[in-house]
Amino acid sequence: MLDDIIIGEYIEKDSIIHNLDPRTKILVIMFFIITIFLIGSFKGYLALAGLLFVTVLLSKIKPGYIIKSIRPLLFIILFTFFIHLFMTRGGEVLWQWKFLRIEEEGLTLGSFMALRLIFLVSYTSLLTLTTSPLQLTDGIERLLNPFKRIGVPAHELAMMMTIALRFIPTLLEEAKKIMKAQQARGADFQSGSLIKKAKSLIPLLVPLFVSAFRRADELALAMESRCYRGGENRTRMNVLTLVGRDYWALGVSFLYLVGVGILF
């Protein structure tokens, strides 16, 4: 049940894309997502495919990983495609069999929507493939900084996520251990009705909960004794700085995406 879990999908490599500031990457992804929804023709997708191709090439990530990230959503992509294929009417009739009928517009709209999903998933997965979760939270905190003035607790949010990223593997490991211990005592986590399954989680949940909160207690003590005082005036070991390549990446992709959005 827990063996096939991968947290995040970060692959460490030394590439231009990996070395970009996380903020740059998040912003480019945002431009990309907006552009996808502005595009109204297949030519636009061709242009986006070019950008995707170049980014993948620069990131040194094997294309196989990108394809793998599409797999969990394959069902919905196919579903979208077929729904549009059979339901949309208009244009010439391409194929007919009893009540099933494919018309030209259906084929166009179906492939259009399916491509949109494929592009969304593959480009966003590039972000998690090339950015470690810690960098991502750091980037999110810095991007939210301007909103601190209107009361968004950016530092607390990022701190929470950093703590969580540190503890997810520990708690997972612990959950596995407890599961094995309870299974050795005859506990059954897999079968039964919904409620029965939920009830079977109690012997797992109680020790997990208690130990998690005990850890939180210890962590709070450790933070306090190291004089943690929140985000004000806190310094960092690795400060995120935008350098030349970040401005280049932002500028080039912004211009390209605006161009694609306007032209197609």
Rule CB under 8 A: which of 161-180 touch other proteins? 161-168, 170-172, 175
155-173 burial by CB neighbour count: b if 16+ within 10 A, else e? Answer: beebbebeeebeeeeeeee
Q: How far is the CB of 244 from other proteins (least distance, A)?
A: 27
Taking the least distance from each CB to other proteins, the nearer of 58 and 212 is: 212
Q: Does 99 bind other proteins (CB under 8 A)?
A: no
Q: Minimum distance from CB of 228 to other proteins (Å)?
A: 6
Lookup result for tokens 């094997």 = 62
- Sole binder of other proteins in the list 184, 194, 237, 239 (CB under 8 A): 194
128 lines the binding site for other proteins (CB under 8 A)? yes
Q: Please count the residues of this chain forming the interface with other proteins, following the rule CB under 8 A.
A: 71
Among 107, 117, 118, 260, binds other proteins (CB under 8 A): 117
**41, 43, 46, 224: residue in contact with other proteins (rule CB under 8 A):** 224
| Calpha distance 63→52 (Å, rounded) | 11
Q: Which is nearer to other proteins, 87 or 181 (CB)?
A: 87
Site for other proteins contains 142 (CB under 8 A): no
Does 7 sit near other proteins (CB under 8 A)?
Answer: yes
User: What single letter denotes the amino acid at residue 104?
Assistant: E
| Interface with other proteins in residues 11-40 (CB under 8 A) | 30, 33-34, 37
Q: Which of 16, 49, 58, 83 binds other proteins (CB under 8 A)?
A: 83
Say whether residue 209 binds other proteins (CB under 8 A): yes
Applying CB under 8 A, does 67 fall inside the site for other proteins? no
